Amino acid sequence: MKVAAWFSSVGRAETEVLEAPPARDTGLDFVSQGVLVLDSRGHVTAANDAARSLLRNTRVVGADWRAILKPIASEEALARLSDLLQERGAARRCDEIELRVPGADGTPATVWYRFETPGAAPPEAGTHRVLVITDRSDAVQQSREIADLRAELQSYGEILRALLRLGATRFATAVRRTSDAMERIDAILKQPAREQTAFREKLDATLEAVDRIRREAVLLRLTSLEIAARSFEDAVHELRDRASLSGSDFLPLAIKLDALLGRLALLRTLTRNALPDATAGEAATVTDNGTQILDAPRFLAEAGRTGAPPVDAGIAGAPAPGRLQTALASLTEHIGEEQGRPVRIEFNGLDAVPAVHRPLVKNVAIQLIRNAIIHGIEPPEAREAAGKPSIGTLRLSFVRQANGAGELRFQDDGRGIDPVRVRRTAVEHGLLRPDEAAALSDRQAIKLIFKSGYVRGSADDSAPTHRGLLLVRRYVDAAGGRIALASDPGHNTRFKVLLPPPAH
């Protein structure tokens, strides 16, 4: 890195720079990374355009480096950088410093930068330090995707070993018990509760059910499922330790529950692929000591013929576009079967989703699909009575704009959202006064379903909303995006998510 030549002019220019910060420090702009030159007090005496661009700040010269980074960095990140700058001598660096910088539209965007010092400064530089900044966002995202893929492949291996070790019958039975426990948790969390006693009864019942899942995971030796169960269990224990509880305290459990559901969805899907008729012909395929005789699992035989791993239907991590589409299709089929509501999903443009947005698209799509099937798509007989096809249809599409921004659209052809009912629920939950609710237009009223106060305490399964919509709003806000909602009662519900361009 060519930094020595910069120092000869830094000391001479310091006073001039502090008095009148230049719009451009051409002496440093031949370097592609961001460069800040700091004096002994930690003030920036020189900077290049790359540094200004990375930090989204044009007035860095003359400012203390802590003041520049404090609005966009955590306390932990600031402490790491402070340690970096205090060390003299050998070159040092801090990798994967997470920052929240303003995006193109002014909303925060998450980036990961590397900060490094080139080593001992030349004698003519005096007490000045050089801080080099490199954008590592793409590399970090790719690394995390690879880690997620490795974790999923490990899960496949664990499932296969459990299947071969236990036999088809015992394996399928353990999976069914796990599924029953998960359904029990979902039912428990939907139960109404307003008093402290009721809240704690819900937590105790939830702990009993998740303990069953964890024990089944230990039996099957499924590490990822066991970890997800323990994480959810820890979150429930944390709530139990609180002196008082409210309905909103249960919302963070939804994130842990999603992770657990993702592991279970992977387990169920692979079980269906490997054991389409797990309980058929048991008498002819069990030995005298009760061991199940297995033919080669179908998914394993297919993998052997193609030389490729089995199709990934898991929903954890940030899968590639093809895997993402497969996972969401599998999830749609699974939830439709559980709810007794046949449904299909159509995709368009998912291959255009940039890697940095795939985790968000995955998480948002999961919640919208679950919400649509459970609360939007009518049962077949109700659809036929309304003149609709018995099979519901979901549509998920993504369009990438020229500037890198994206537009995610989701639509179902279900019952839609009744604004009258939304107003009534908002008043019942104390979110609005009756006169305030009456003053809202229908379009304004249906947006209330994203409010935490609207969901809190609601246990009406037929209500056209779901706790998952709170997560959708949280995901979109965290990414610096915007979400729009429209509905034609009796016909459809439509969501549009606008995502900012990935940070460079």
CATH of the domain at 121: 3.30.450.20
- pLDDT bucket at 335, cuts 50 / 70 / 90: confident
- 4-8, 319-323, 468-472: which is most confident: 468-472
pLDDT of residue 463: 40
Same domain for 204 and 350: no
Look at residues 299, 315, 331 and tell me which one is the last residue of a structural domain: 315
- pLDDT bucket at 445, cuts 50 / 70 / 90: confident
pLDDT over 80 (residue 179):
yes
Same domain for 173 and 86: no
Q: Is residue 455 part of a domain?
A: no
Structure letter (DSSP) for residue 347: E
Q: Is residue 436 part of a domain?
A: no
CA 117 to CA 120: how far, in whole Å? 9
Between 17-31, 251-265, 289-303, the lowest mean confidence (pLDDT) is in 289-303
Q: Is residue 368 part of a domain?
A: yes
Q: Is residue 323 part of a domain?
A: yes
pLDDT of residue 89: 66
pLDDT of residue 265: 76
Which domain CATH number covers 403? Answer: 3.30.565.10
- 27-36, 38-47, 167-176: which is most confident: 38-47
pLDDT over 60 (residue 317):
no
Question: Could you tell me which residues come within 8 angstroms of residue 475 by beta carbon, excluding any fewer than 6 positions away?
Answer: 360, 363, 364, 367
Q: Which amino acid type is present at position 52?
A: R
Same domain for 210 and 97: no
pLDDT over 70 (residue 241):
yes
- pLDDT bucket at 320, cuts 50 / 70 / 90: low
Domain count across the chain: 3
Q: How far is CA 280 from the centre of its chain?
A: 39
Same domain for 246 and 193: yes
pLDDT over 50 (residue 141):
yes
Cα angle value 247/250/253 (rounded, 5°): 165
- pLDDT bucket at 28, cuts 50 / 70 / 90: low
Look at residues 290, 315, 340 and tell me which one is the last residue of a structural domain: 315
Same domain for 259 and 142: yes
Look at residues 118, 135, 152 and tell me which one is the last residue of a structural domain: 135
Q: Is residue 346 part of a domain?
A: yes
Same domain for 160 and 104: no
Same domain for 270 and 157: yes
pLDDT of residue 31: 66
Q: Is residue 44 part of a domain?
A: yes
Query: Is 422 or 123 the better-scoring residue by pLDDT?
Result: 422
Mean confidence (pLDDT) of the chain: 76
pLDDT of residue 218: 87
- pLDDT bucket at 297, cuts 50 / 70 / 90: very low
CA distances (Å), 309 to each of 72, 132, 186, 301, 303, in order?
A: 41, 42, 32, 10, 6
Same domain for 490 and 398: yes
pLDDT per residue over 191-225, tens digit each?
A: 887 888 888 888 888 898 888 888 888 888 888 88
Query: Is 391 or 267 the better-scoring residue by pLDDT?
Result: 391
Q: Is residue 443 part of a domain?
A: no
Same domain for 372 and 301: no
Same domain for 159 and 117: no
DSSP sequence for 412-437: E-S----HHHHHHHHHHTTSS-HHHH
Same domain for 230 and 175: yes
pLDDT per residue over 87-140, tens digit each?
A: 766 788 888 888 888 866 566 678 899 999 886 555 444 578 889 999 998 888
Tokens 């003041």 belong to 67
What is the domain range of residue 104? 4-135
pLDDT (average), residues 253-268: 76
Mutual angle of helices 137-166 and 223-240, in 10-degree steps: 110
Same domain for 473 and 328: yes
Q: Is residue 177 part of a domain?
A: yes
pLDDT of residue 396: 94
Do 500 and 484 meet the contact criterion of CB atoms below 8 Å apart?
no
